[in-house]
Chains A and B, each alone.
Chain A
Amino acid sequence: MKRVLLLALIGSFAALAQLPAEIEPLLAKISKYQYGADPSPSIQLDEMVAKLSGSPERRRALEARFLQFVQSDATPAGKESAFRQLALIGSRASVPVLAPMLLQIDSAEMARYALTAISGPEVDDALRQSLAKAPSDRVRIGIVNSIGHRRDAKAVPALSELLSSNNVEVTAAAAAALASIADPASIKALSGARRRADTPVRELLSEASVVGADHLAGRGDKGAAIAIYKEIITPAEVAAVRRRALKGLVAADAKSAIPLLAADLHGSDAERQVAAIRLLNTIQGAEVTKTLAGEFPKVAPVAQVHLLTAIAGRGDAAARQTVLAGVKSSDPAVRAAALGALGQAGDESSVKLLAETAAASEGAEQSAARRSLQTLRGPRVDAALIAALNSSTGKMKSELIAAAGERALTASADALTKAAAEADSDVRREALRALRNVGGAAQTPALLDLLLKSPSAMERRDATQTLATVLRRAQPAPITAVISAWKGSAPKEARLSLLEVMGQTSNADALPVLRAGIKDPDPEIARAAILALTNWDDATPLADLLNVAKTAPAPTGAPPPPRVPGGGGGRGMAPPTNNLQVLALRGVLRLMVLQSDRTPSQSGQLLRDVMSLSTQLPEKRTVLSLLPSFPSKESLQVAETAVGDSTVSDEAKVAVAQVREALKLK
């Protein structure tokens, strides 16, 4: 074998001629490399190797050259580059050179770094043979770790000896390596050592045995794995290790695990009960459901909570009966868990129970009942919910309406529209809110009517939001009726709401109305139109708003108080104002961040205009915070000019640095 390798190496040296001439000057630089020096030769070498290593001949040639290099008088930092390349392209031809380096303190780590990446028995032999000769326990542990990673079965005798090392770190490394190898010999070694060991080494070896059994089972030898699990599942074993063994047994042979888990349920240890419930629930079949259901009345409340959660998803009749029994428990935590479980285990017959509970309870039980009402599944659940909604009143009706909304139950739209006109104000409010998820074009006339006739500002607000949401979802949005209503004789409050609806809809048909609105002599209408355009979905109205900002009078008097720091980052909240010029500026700034075809330079010019029109701090700060998003000469000029403005000098300095950085990245 050595002769073959030698010949291969000689062949590789012969192949050195295939390497490009540029590699030698690079290696010459790398041979003198010290940490802290220019790393570009190493990166150039990486790129060269990436290009050349596609060819097997050139890869061999590179390997030979790097092997020469690691034996040269290059600096350790320079050699590191070559070791890294060998980890990438090295072959068994590298072993004769790298193996002796494992035994030198200075080179052991990087030699192992390269060797461990190479596959083949030659590397395993080298690692194994170096184990006894390692110059320190630290180097030995590294070699043991590599052997474990490579799962070298021939190393089991040597690793077994290390289980009795005086250094517990060496024992732990050897146990981990044996567990990773997981063949009959390694498992036997672990088992034997475990029986002889005292705590805490025994725990360490038990843990390694379970890990080994997991590997055995994963590789198909379930019989051997089951034997180890059963050996570990004893009352004397540490609870965590015993639990892991039980889990392994369930995965390998669920049937044999059921009696052991059932026994844990019968015991008096709540922790074991919960662990057993969770493991039992991973086993399919009616037998387990029956076992869980039968144990429900006998286990502690804490275990009942876990059992209900577990059994809910099993989907058979026994599970539902157990959940319904839980709903009647005297323990509030158990009741809440059962109500939550009903969302999975229930059907149309659960609708009324859940709605009644949601209406009559509070806290965790109410939350669980509501959640279940929203998530109940089944072909007849929706129909049952609508029927119950139509026949109920008061709080229960409100709960059912909210559930219909959360379920986006479009079949309930007519029932909800009717409910939105009822006398009970709570029911009306819930129905209006639910219609946001449910309503479609067919409900638009009714919603518009509700908005126009709203008896209070709060209901008008709800109706506005609902109408806007429904219109936005409809395709195409039936905005004509809203525009007609605007042109009609509705009260002013309602007409202001209609402008808001138009803005939220962002429908092009509404643009002429809003463009006229911003010029309206009534400041309230102009304000509502500006806010509507500010909410537009794209930057189309940006020029309209900029025009208002240029023509409307700027605010006079004292500027608003400075923003409170630590308000959640970002650009923060600007103080409220009714000044149309300020509102229009804020609208321009809001639309600027939307996606557009503007170049960074054009955006910079826009921000320059906005800055020149801004008289107050919030807008100036927003401009400065936006500048780095549009790296350009113009943005930089805006920031540099603002450094001279004492009110925003600090922010401007940050913006200058950020724009410069962004320009550099470009």
Chain B
Amino acid sequence: MIRPSRRQFIGFAGAAPLLGFDNRATPANRITVACIGVGWMGSANLTSFLDEPDAQVVAVCDVDSEHLQAARTVVNEKYKNQDCATYREFEEVLARPDIDAVMLAVPDHWHGVLGVAALRAGKDVYGEKPVAGIFSEGKAICDAVARYKRVWQTGTWQRSRAQFRVASELVRNGRVGKVHTVEVGLPGGLPDFDGLGHLDQPVAPPKHLDYQRWLGPAPEAPYCPARVHKTWRWNLDYGGGMLMDWVGHHVDIAHWGLGFDHDGPVEVEGKGEYSLANAVWNAPSKFHVTARYRNGVTMHIRGGYDNVVPGVKWIGDGGWLWVDRNGMDARPRQTLFSRIRPDEIHLEESPGHHRQFLDCVKSRGRTIAPPDVALRSTVPGYLGLISILTGTKIKWDPDNQKIVENSPAERLLSRSLRSPWRLA
């Protein structure tokens, strides 16, 4: 008698769900999920997994015990029990053999170390975008996904929304003709989401926060409220400003439409402006990155300036098509109603970003936002930021994913990690 393992049993159930009395998958049949990082975005992801009937959130982990307790309450109220385990250290979560998948919503400087550790521990990963704060760490994640044969969904969820797929499909199938220019509009500024930006002076970290763990592989720096939680992105040790926050969304869609999932720019030039709102935030608040591709396409990525139209606009010799979270538009308008025939390029339809990840956990298939594709979508952001910081134009070899002959810029593709953290 052949007895399927737990994971194979889940895979089997994926083809023919076994439902319990409440129309949920029976407990033994659910994908067990742990959520690591349950602050802002993480709590939203947590809710999404709680809404999936074949997922069971069994643990939450955060360096801030206030986040942790709030998340635990949400999980236990949902399941009407007290079973959700809590952890401050992710290693304990990764050591649990009964956990199939982890959701990672931690600051960008943690993505590489934590992502590789989770993959190495045999977990499938739903990881927030950008793939990593630094290119080399994103590359390490891609290598680890291939090496450990795990499923990774990057949190660039726009690929799972119909309007972005339809728009990309139309462009991909030549409905605006040969594309020569792409305009990508991103938000700008350094918004003070919680109004804590003025708290930029070093103080003792609160007891509920394990601040040394929060810093992790980033250089040592004293705690202040403006440095952590919702506004860490505005410091370049932990994030990359609005450019790196959004590049994974809209440039990802721009690349999808262009068929550049496995390509990249050959030349990138960035200009930035700083607002110096406080003593901690040092990311550019306005930016204009120009990326040129080898087929002649020029992409302009702008944020923070007047008249920046949010979203992606592909401009070709037969018209243009614009898409954003609020809708689509095109000239000629008929473009919007054109159908894609079976013999044309069809992009993958996703049932929802978290849902599609769970389906892939079962089928062991490729997600709609795998890390290698997400990394290439982020490259114009990495290189644009490096260009802003070094004041140089960057030449990029998209085949080998390397900077060509620019020593200072090349060095910013990776960074030293504070001991004891490493990417292995």
Whether chains A and B associate is: yes
Q: Chain B contacts of A173 at CB under 8 A?
A: 420, 422
B5 within 8 A of A: yes
Instruction: State how many angstroms separate the Cβ of B26 from the closest Cβ of chain A.
Output: 16
Q: Name A271's contact: one of B4, B332, B342 (CB within 8 Å).
A: B4
A469 within 8 A of B: yes
Q: Chain A contacts of B419 at CB under 8 A?
A: 109, 112, 138-139, 141-142, 145
A274 within 8 A of B: yes
A337 within 8 A of B: yes
Which residue, of B224, B279, B280, has the highest number of chain A Cβ atoms within 10 A?
B279
Instruction: State how many angstroms separate the Cβ of A651 from the closest Cβ of chain B.
Output: 19
Q: Chain B contacts of A88 at CB under 8 A?
A: 390, 408, 411-412
Stretch at the interface among A287-295, A472-480, A552-560: A472-480
Q: Name B219's contact: one of A110, A176, A336 (CB within 8 Å).
A: A110
Assuming A364-B15, A593-B326, A595-B309, is B201 touching A36 (CB within 8 A)?
A: yes
What 0/1 pattern do residues 592 to 616 of A give for CB contact below 8 A with B?
0111000000000000000000000
A357 within 8 A of B: no
Q: Tell me if A50 and B390 are in contact (CB < 8 A).
A: yes
Q: Chain B contacts of A271 at CB under 8 A?
A: 4-5, 7-8
In this complex, what residue of A is CB-closest to B6?
A: A271
Q: Chain B contacts of A141 at CB under 8 A?
A: 419-420, 422
Q: Chain A contacts of B415 at CB under 8 A?
A: 87, 113, 117
For chain B residues 359-379, which have a beta carbon within 8 Å of chain A?
363-364
- Number of chain A residues whose Cβ lies closer than 8 Å to a Cβ of chain B: 86
What 0/1 pattern do residues 125 to 165 of B give for CB contact below 8 A with A?
00000000000000000000001110000000000000000
A408 within 8 A of B: yes
Q: Tell me if A270 and B5 are in contact (CB < 8 A).
A: yes
Instruction: State how many angstroms separate the Cβ of B376 from the closest Cβ of chain A.
Output: 20
What 0/1 pattern do residues 36 to 48 of A give for CB contact below 8 A with B?
1111101100110
Instruction: State how many angstroms separate the Cβ of A501 from the closest Cβ of chain B.
Output: 13
Alpha-carbon distance between A236 and B8 when the two chains are bound, in angstroms: 21
Alpha-carbon distance between A149 and B414 when the two chains are bound, in angstroms: 10
Q: Tell me if A35 and B279 are in contact (CB < 8 A).
A: yes
Instruction: State how many angstroms separate the Cβ of A338 from the closest Cβ of chain B.
Output: 10
B204 within 8 A of A: no
Alpha-carbon distance between A39 and B279 when the two chains are bound, in angstroms: 5
Q: Tell me if A244 and B392 are in contact (CB < 8 A).
A: no
Stretch at the interface among B46-54, B259-267, B333-341: B333-341
Stretch at the interface among A158-166, A255-263, A301-309, A420-428: A301-309
For chain B residues 375-424, which have a beta carbon within 8 Å of chain A?
389-392, 408, 411-412, 414-422, 424
Q: Name A309's contact: one of B337, B363, B392 (CB within 8 Å).
A: B363
In this complex, what residue of B is CB-closest to A84?
A: B219
- Number of chain B residues whose Cβ lies closer than 8 Å to a Cβ of chain A: 69
In this complex, what residue of A is CB-closest to B199?
A: A36
For chain B residues 265-324, which have a beta carbon within 8 Å of chain A?
274, 276, 279-280, 282, 304, 306, 309, 322
For chain A residues 383-417, which have a beta carbon within 8 Å of chain B?
407-410
Q: Tell me if A142 and B418 are in contact (CB < 8 A).
A: yes
Given contacts A36-B201, A336-B16, 14 further A-B contacts (CB under 8 A): A35-B222, A39-B279, A39-B280, A47-B391, A88-B408, A142-B419, A145-B417, A148-B422, A173-B422, A336-B15, A407-B342, A438-B339, A473-B337, A593-B326
Nearest first, the 5 A-B pairs at minimum CB distance are: A142-B419, A50-B391, A176-B424, A408-B339, A333-B15
27 contacts between A and B (CB under 8 A): A37-B279, A39-B276, A39-B280, A43-B274, A47-B391, A50-B390, A51-B391, A80-B219, A87-B411, A89-B408, A109-B219, A109-B419, A117-B411, A141-B419, A142-B419, A145-B417, A149-B422, A176-B424, A270-B4, A271-B4, A271-B7, A302-B4, A302-B8, A306-B364, A336-B15, A364-B16, A594-B329
Q: Hey, which bits of chain A sit against chain B, CB under 8 A?
A: 35-40, 42-43, 46-47, 50-51, 53-54, 80, 87-89, 109-110, 112-113, 116-117, 138-139, 141-142, 145-146, 148-149, 169, 173, 176, 179-180, 207, 211, 214, 240, 243-244, 247, 268-271, 273-274, 278, 300-303, 305-306, 309, 332-333, 336-337, 364, 374-375, 377, 407-410, 437-438, 469, 472-475, 477, 506, 537, 593-595, 661, 665-666
